[in-house]
């Protein structure tokens, strides 16, 4: 898996961005265009006081996963409060929190630091497209950052019409399972290939086999910098300590861990380009001798399928005294 920027959905924040237009090169809409847009705009007033639960968040192709292993997880609970407030559930406060609902233009709204296009608004359901906004420009539908569609149902609709539960509706679909199975099988044929390795929803587990070593999974969640829990499974990091090693060292590198727990050194940090091959051979030797024998390695899994995934290792070795 190539390490590239991933834009995650931040559920709760306390400020909003400036207003935007989808095509600033064409200028501001005329009065007639504004009237047409407002006439065709979904009206949240029709669902005032109705609470909606997000039951699916998917890409345009209907899947919850992409090829890098990133999963859209439905987590929102929202409720419109006339005239210009949107309530959203806050996991931190364990209750509904109010946000200013800004109507931008056409079918575009902003609340909780996110821009949305209202695709459908009814008393039973909502469909909102999350939009990526850069400055005053809305990224097009072909941009992966705007390829996010959220579906909400009311509790009454779920209980009495669909006769199911929120939890059941939020589960990955059969199509998701088939997609992940196919991605996993590709890694079985070429387990060390970083181009087809993908992030595991249940990341690699590293456990010490004895008292001379320790293993710690590092969390990088930081709401202030938009780092949600998704970062922890997309880019898992581990700090490993080895006492009584052959010499003192401190290395940072990445490993591809395949479906059987075998490890292949991939990325090498902190060296010049010409020094990468010898450092890589050194680290592979340390991996094959120390990591393989001193730690129990459980491969990452997604929807029950073990597969190759990439992890970052911070490895410290200390000489015996």
3-state SS, 259-306, equals: CCCCEEEEEECCCCHHHHHHHHHHHHHHHHHHHHHHEEEECCEECCEE
Same domain, 207 and 141: no
Give the torsion through C-alpha atoms of 292, 294, 298, 300, to 10 deg.
-70
Q: Is the dihedral of CA 77, 79, 85, 90 positive or negative?
A: negative
Q: Quote the pLDDT of residue 224.
A: 72
Same domain, 36 and 146: yes
The answer on pLDDT for 27 being more than 50 is no
Report the C-alpha gap between 234 and 160 in whole angstroms.
37
Give the torsion through C-alpha atoms of 176, 178, 183, 189, to 10 deg.
160
How buried is residue 44: exposed, middle or buried, by Cβ count under 10 Å (0-12/13-18/19+)?
buried
Q: Which residues contact 229 (CB under 8 A, 6 or more apart)?
A: 221
Domain range for 228 = 191-319
Phi, psi of 171 (to 5 degrees): -70, 150
Same domain, 150 and 218: no
Work out how many domains the chain is built from and give that number: 2
Query: Hey, which bits of 85-219 come out as E strands?
Result: 85-90, 95-100, 102-105, 108-111, 114-121, 125-131, 133-134, 137-138, 148-154, 205-208, 213-218
Same domain, 167 and 203: no
Same domain, 286 and 255: yes
pLDDT band at 19 (very low <50, low <70, confident <90, very high): very low
Contact of 301 with 200, CB cutoff 8 Å: yes
Most confident of 7-16, 171-180, 224-233: 171-180
Specify the pTM: 0.82
Calculate mean pLDDT across residues 103-132: 88
pLDDT band at 142 (very low <50, low <70, confident <90, very high): low
Q: Quote the pLDDT of residue 24.
A: 42
* Structural domain includes residue 136: yes
């Amino acid at each position: 898996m190539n390490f590239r920027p991933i834009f995650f959905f931040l559920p709760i924040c306390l400020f909003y961005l400036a207003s935007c237009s989808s095509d600033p090169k064409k200028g501001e809409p005329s009065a007639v265009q504004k009237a047409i847009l407002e006439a065709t705009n979904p009206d949240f007033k029709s669902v005032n006081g109705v609470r909606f639960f997000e039951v699916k968040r998917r890409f345009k192709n209907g899947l919850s996963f992409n090829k890098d292993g990133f999963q859209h997880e439905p987590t929102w609970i929202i409720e419109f409060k006339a005239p210009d407030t949107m309530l959203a559930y806050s996991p931190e406060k364990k209750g509904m929190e109010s946000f200013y609902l800004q109507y931008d233009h056409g079918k575009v709204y902003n609340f909780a630091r996110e821009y949305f296009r209202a695709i459908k608004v009814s008393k039973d359901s909502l469909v909102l497209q999350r939009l990526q906004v850069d400055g005053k420009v809305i990224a097009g539908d072909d941009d992966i950052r705007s390829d996010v569609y959220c579906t909400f149902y009311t509790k009454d609709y779920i209980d009495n019409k669909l006769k199911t539960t929120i939890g059941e509706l939020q589960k990955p679909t059969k199509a998701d399972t088939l997609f992940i199975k196919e991605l996993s099988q590709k890694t079985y044929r070429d387990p060390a290939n970083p181009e087809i390795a993908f992030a595991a929803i249940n990341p690699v587990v590293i456990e010490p086999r004895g008292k001379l070593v320790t293993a710690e999974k590092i969390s990088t969640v930081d709401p202030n910098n938009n780092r949600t829990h998704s970062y922890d499974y997309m880019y898992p990091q581990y700090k490993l300590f080895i006492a009584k090693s052959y010499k003192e060292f401190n290395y940072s590198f990445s490993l591809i861990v395949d479906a059987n727990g075998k490890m292949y050194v991939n990325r090498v940090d902190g060296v010049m380009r010409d020094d990468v091959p010898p450092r890589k051979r050194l680290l592979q030797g340390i991996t094959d001798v120390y990591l393989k024998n001193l730690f129990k390695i459980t491969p990452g899994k997604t929807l029950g399928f073990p597969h190759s995934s990439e992890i970052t290792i911070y490895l410290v070795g200390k000489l015996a005294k």
